[in-house]
Chain A
């Protein structure tokens, strides 16, 4: 590197209790470069970046900005230096509009000059080729759109260092492409982009350099062009060879567990779907094409729609009123922290969320029994946690997802709705989740909503493509001809 680093981290250490999340880390960040931070869950990537973003303080170590020592005691300090971060869990005000969220805290002077602000945002949107309505309310946006709002927040204040924590985990392939194009543009403008990811291909595609973290230490730092294959990178990251191929063997589908007949909703148009026990149906499509509404209807969260939904041969309305519905249907939502779990509740309580009727003694809850059960699940699913009294928010994404899966599979459901089940997981955890889903398929029908095409193709028996609220086509994942055309279908082609 001929250039001087923009920011240098020196001997950064940070411990949480007995866990050493960062152990004497040294890292230089150069302008105009996309640096990928790669590591398994709990390797310390997020901790390191939250230190750089001013969100947490290091126990030891120094940070230099253009050669000068700085103390980043708050996110404000970091932002003032042009260091901003897009977290996995978005920090947006749901009730406010897109432009309000972006301009929040950066108003100049007394008056809010709405039109001027909006113009500036629209320029940025055009500049980076994002698609976004500045007047929309954040709560109505898809995860991908919310992410763009977060990025725009940083660009709006002209941040020089952008940190993105698992940015593609909520995106479809198309959205990912767009994001990458935007990131490359930002790098060309001289910004530094730090990209935290588990997806190896992506890291190879987007980054100029890769820093690999393992157990709180940087084990390697290599120029991306010197890396021959994702396998090599994976090896460096986990320290052991992992398989990236997983071919499901087909099993005989059993009775129908889910059927949608001419369902119309706010976004949905005439949806017809059928799912049998013993098969995995992947619903693929660009985020925001009606997937969310479809899932809400099937899981009973939304009851206003036209058409018929049949669950286990019963009409949905009847099904949800029957005690059967407590265990027959399991839902693994995209939003792990905030929907599938309560961030402030301890693990045992989170374990009880959908299992409380299994641990009931009269009006009382059998916390002891639940805790015993949870411990056995912690071992079975290899959830890394020091105990059951941790709060959900203290668990890393992968471990939290394993907890959710352990809980949902504990109910032995016959229909599983899995929404982006491996988003933000490392390869090890991802494979475990895949194996678990394939195993669950023996007893259940699985509707997999995934933005990861590779995941959909390697798991699903059938694939349905959704576009603009319509199911464009459904085909077998072995139909090579159709599979090759998926991109075409996802863009609405028929």
Chain B
């Protein structure tokens, strides 16, 4: 009787094979999604076409993908930083919201006429508020051993409700005919687009932060301490590294990055409104996980998942697919990539 055995691989897969694996995983996810489409009585072939065209098929689509990828990228970097330390920050959504609020408050404050000054202050306020909001669960974790998963998750709702309060209340634009949104930002508060495109200049910020992130983790002493602490808190203590201090620091930075995403988003839509809350913080968890916390891969997966989002939006418009379909595809992709990552460490062997 042939017997199937699971055997641990002795060598890592080559980079080419890994890329192929991820590609196959995407194919599997998309294939399964189309199967679901077929189950709804819609043509999967047309669906696939609409999906791909909407997500990746035109320069307009690619621009859309980039625009969505940038906040996703920042959130994911933040999440990954906390995950490095095995602190499960699933509160990027809330930290992102606070970042948006911080940026908005500065933008509308009229504190400076100078665009550079104003934008710098917006960045600091967004990152700072996001960071502080992440520091709260970190403090509870360090001081009272409270579970950060639960606290960060619940704080997301607190942040979102606070945002709603602001746009329905004190920050409501008197000219908005009752719509819950803040006034438009002054000209100086807008980041603007890369000339000739609709893509925000935040792309440049993303590249810079990505490099800083990589250098920080791989070459600095603090990054080294973070790595040690994530691997083994006991060894960290032995090496006179304080895990508590690192938890606080990494959560602050994690929130800071998510806050930046909030800044990028409001400076792109020009105002604070509830529609900016679209679950970037949750998608970020998937991205961080898929990318195995590597900043380059986070970039790649941010683009991919942003493309998926845009593609599904197109599906929604053209084929009347429910909005939840986007989440379904994300979930399928996660599962597919997890299956692949299993085969990265193990292989199947047939034995007679």
Most chain A beta-carbon neighbours within 10 Å: one of B10, B227, B240: B240
Q: Is B7 an interface residue (CB 8 A)?
A: yes
Most chain B beta-carbon neighbours within 10 Å: one of A301, A339, A340: A339
Q: Is A475 an interface residue (CB 8 A)?
A: no
Asked whether B219 lies within 8 Å of A342 as measured between CB atoms, the reply is no
- Residues in chain B near residue A17, CB distance under 8 A: 10
User: A320: shortest Cβ distance to chain B, in Å?
Assistant: 8
- Residues in chain A near residue B219, CB distance under 8 A: 364-365, 367
- Rounded to whole angstroms, the CA-CA distance of A367 and B221 in the bound complex is 10
As a 0/1 sequence over residues 312 to 340 of chain A, the CB contacts with chain B under 8 angstroms (1 = contact) are 00000000000001100001010100111
Q: Is A356 an interface residue (CB 8 A)?
A: yes
Asked whether B220 lies within 8 Å of A340 as measured between CB atoms, the reply is no
- Rounded to whole angstroms, the CA-CA distance of A302 and B24 in the bound complex is 52
Q: Is A222 an interface residue (CB 8 A)?
A: no
Q: Is B46 an interface residue (CB 8 A)?
A: no
Q: Is B117 an interface residue (CB 8 A)?
A: no
Asked whether B221 lies within 8 Å of A364 as measured between CB atoms, the reply is yes
- Residues in chain B near residue A363, CB distance under 8 A: 220-222
- Residue B228 contacts which of A57, A331, A335, A353 (CB distance < 8 angstroms)? A353
- Residues in chain B near residue A177, CB distance under 8 A: none
User: A432: shortest Cβ distance to chain B, in Å?
Assistant: 23
Asked whether B231 lies within 8 Å of A333 as measured between CB atoms, the reply is no
- Residue A356 contacts which of B7, B221, B235, B351 (CB distance < 8 angstroms)? B221
Asked whether A353 lies within 8 Å of B222 as measured between CB atoms, the reply is no
CB-CB nearest in chain B for A340: B238
As a 0/1 sequence over residues 218 to 239 of chain B, the CB contacts with chain A under 8 angstroms (1 = contact) are 0111111101100110110111
- Rounded to whole angstroms, the CA-CA distance of A340 and B222 in the bound complex is 19
CB-CB nearest in chain B for A299: B238
User: B245: shortest Cβ distance to chain A, in Å?
Assistant: 14
Q: Is A275 an interface residue (CB 8 A)?
A: no
Residues of chain A from 343 to 365 with CB closer than 8 A to chain B in the complex: 343-345, 349, 352-354, 356, 360, 363-365
- Rounded to whole angstroms, the CA-CA distance of A430 and B219 in the bound complex is 36
Q: Is B5 an interface residue (CB 8 A)?
A: yes
Residues of chain A from 286 to 304 with CB closer than 8 A to chain B in the complex: 300-301
- Rounded to whole angstroms, the CA-CA distance of A17 and B10 in the bound complex is 8
As a 0/1 sequence over residues 22 to 43 of chain B, the CB contacts with chain A under 8 angstroms (1 = contact) are 0000000000000000000000
Asked whether B238 lies within 8 Å of A331 as measured between CB atoms, the reply is yes
Asked whether B220 lies within 8 Å of A356 as measured between CB atoms, the reply is no
Most chain A beta-carbon neighbours within 10 Å: one of B5, B234, B237: B234
Most chain A beta-carbon neighbours within 10 Å: one of B222, B232, B351: B232
Asked whether B224 lies within 8 Å of A349 as measured between CB atoms, the reply is yes
- Rounded to whole angstroms, the CA-CA distance of A356 and B5 in the bound complex is 44
- Rounded to whole angstroms, the CA-CA distance of A333 and B220 in the bound complex is 27
- Residues in chain B near residue A331, CB distance under 8 A: 238
Asked whether B235 lies within 8 Å of A340 as measured between CB atoms, the reply is yes
Most chain A beta-carbon neighbours within 10 Å: one of B224, B227, B234, B237: B224
CB-CB nearest in chain B for A353: B239
As a 0/1 sequence over residues 364 to 402 of chain A, the CB contacts with chain B under 8 angstroms (1 = contact) are 110100000000000000000000000000000000000
- Residues in chain A near residue B232, CB distance under 8 A: 338-339, 342-344
Q: Is A142 an interface residue (CB 8 A)?
A: no
- Rounded to whole angstroms, the CA-CA distance of A321 and B219 in the bound complex is 26
- Rounded to whole angstroms, the CA-CA distance of A331 and B222 in the bound complex is 22
Residues of chain B from 207 to 263 with CB closer than 8 A to chain A in the complex: 219-225, 227-228, 231-232, 234-235, 237-240
User: A403: shortest Cβ distance to chain B, in Å?
Assistant: 13
Q: A342 and B235 in contact (CB under 8 A), knowing A57-B7, A73-B5, A349-B228?
A: yes
- Rounded to whole angstroms, the CA-CA distance of A339 and B238 in the bound complex is 6
Q: A364 and B5 in contact (CB under 8 A), knowing A345-B231, A349-B227, A349-B228?
A: no
Q: Is A217 an interface residue (CB 8 A)?
A: no
Q: Is A50 an interface residue (CB 8 A)?
A: no
Most chain A beta-carbon neighbours within 10 Å: one of B7, B10, B239, B351: B239
Asked whether A353 lies within 8 Å of B220 as measured between CB atoms, the reply is no
- Residues in chain B near residue A345, CB distance under 8 A: 227-228, 231
Most chain A beta-carbon neighbours within 10 Å: one of B231, B232, B238: B238
- Rounded to whole angstroms, the CA-CA distance of A354 and B221 in the bound complex is 12
Q: Is A8 an interface residue (CB 8 A)?
A: no
Q: Is A341 an interface residue (CB 8 A)?
A: yes
Q: Is the interface of B mostly helix, strand, loop or mixed?
A: helix
- Rounded to whole angstroms, the CA-CA distance of A352 and B223 in the bound complex is 13
- Residues in chain A near residue B237, CB distance under 8 A: 301
- Rounded to whole angstroms, the CA-CA distance of A301 and B233 in the bound complex is 13
Asked whether B224 lies within 8 Å of A365 as measured between CB atoms, the reply is yes
CB-CB nearest in chain B for A367: B219
Most chain B beta-carbon neighbours within 10 Å: one of A335, A356, A367: A356
CB-CB nearest in chain B for A364: B219
As a 0/1 sequence over residues 4 to 17 of chain A, the CB contacts with chain B under 8 angstroms (1 = contact) are 00000000000001
- Rounded to whole angstroms, the CA-CA distance of A301 and B241 in the bound complex is 11
- Rounded to whole angstroms, the CA-CA distance of A341 and B239 in the bound complex is 9
Asked whether B231 lies within 8 Å of A339 as measured between CB atoms, the reply is no
As a 0/1 sequence over residues 1 to 14 of chain B, the CB contacts with chain A under 8 angstroms (1 = contact) are 00001010010000
Residues of chain A from 82 to 134 with CB closer than 8 A to chain B in the complex: none
- Rounded to whole angstroms, the CA-CA distance of A464 and B219 in the bound complex is 45
- Residues in chain B near residue A356, CB distance under 8 A: 221, 224-225, 239
Asked whether A326 lies within 8 Å of B240 as measured between CB atoms, the reply is yes
As a 0/1 sequence over residues 262 to 281 of chain B, the CB contacts with chain A under 8 angstroms (1 = contact) are 00000000000000000000
User: A301: shortest Cβ distance to chain B, in Å?
Assistant: 6
- Residues in chain B near residue A338, CB distance under 8 A: 232, 234-235
CB-CB nearest in chain A for B7: A57
- Residues in chain B near residue A354, CB distance under 8 A: 238-240
Residues of chain A from 32 to 85 with CB closer than 8 A to chain B in the complex: 57, 71, 73
Asked whether A339 lies within 8 Å of B235 as measured between CB atoms, the reply is yes
User: A401: shortest Cβ distance to chain B, in Å?
Assistant: 15
Asked whether B221 lies within 8 Å of A360 as measured between CB atoms, the reply is yes
- Residues in chain A near residue B224, CB distance under 8 A: 349, 352, 356, 365
- Residues in chain B near residue A339, CB distance under 8 A: 232, 234-235, 238
Asked whether A364 lies within 8 Å of B220 as measured between CB atoms, the reply is yes
- Residues in chain A near residue B10, CB distance under 8 A: 17
- Residue A342 contacts which of B5, B223, B231 (CB distance < 8 angstroms)? B231
Asked whether B221 lies within 8 Å of A341 as measured between CB atoms, the reply is no
- Rounded to whole angstroms, the CA-CA distance of A17 and B237 in the bound complex is 33
User: A9: shortest Cβ distance to chain B, in Å?
Assistant: 19
Asked whether B221 lies within 8 Å of A333 as measured between CB atoms, the reply is no
As a 0/1 sequence over residues 322 to 351 of chain B, the CB contacts with chain A under 8 angstroms (1 = contact) are 000000000000000000000000000001
User: A77: shortest Cβ distance to chain B, in Å?
Assistant: 11
- Residues in chain B near residue A349, CB distance under 8 A: 224, 227-228
- Residues in chain B near residue A57, CB distance under 8 A: 7
- Rounded to whole angstroms, the CA-CA distance of A304 and B129 in the bound complex is 36
- Residues in chain B near residue A300, CB distance under 8 A: 240
User: A295: shortest Cβ distance to chain B, in Å?
Assistant: 11
**B residues lining the A interface (CB < 8 Å):** 5, 7, 10, 219-225, 227-228, 231-232, 234-235, 237-240, 351
> What are some 26 contacts across the A-B interface (CB < 8 A)?
A17-B10, A71-B351, A300-B240, A301-B238, A325-B240, A338-B232, A338-B234, A339-B235, A341-B235, A342-B231, A342-B232, A344-B232, A345-B227, A345-B228, A345-B231, A349-B228, A352-B224, A353-B228, A353-B239, A356-B224, A356-B225, A360-B221, A363-B220, A363-B222, A364-B221, A367-B219
Q: Other than the known A331-B238, A340-B235, A353-B238, what 4 A-B pairs have Cβ atoms closer than 8 Å?
A: A57-B7, A73-B5, A354-B238, A356-B225
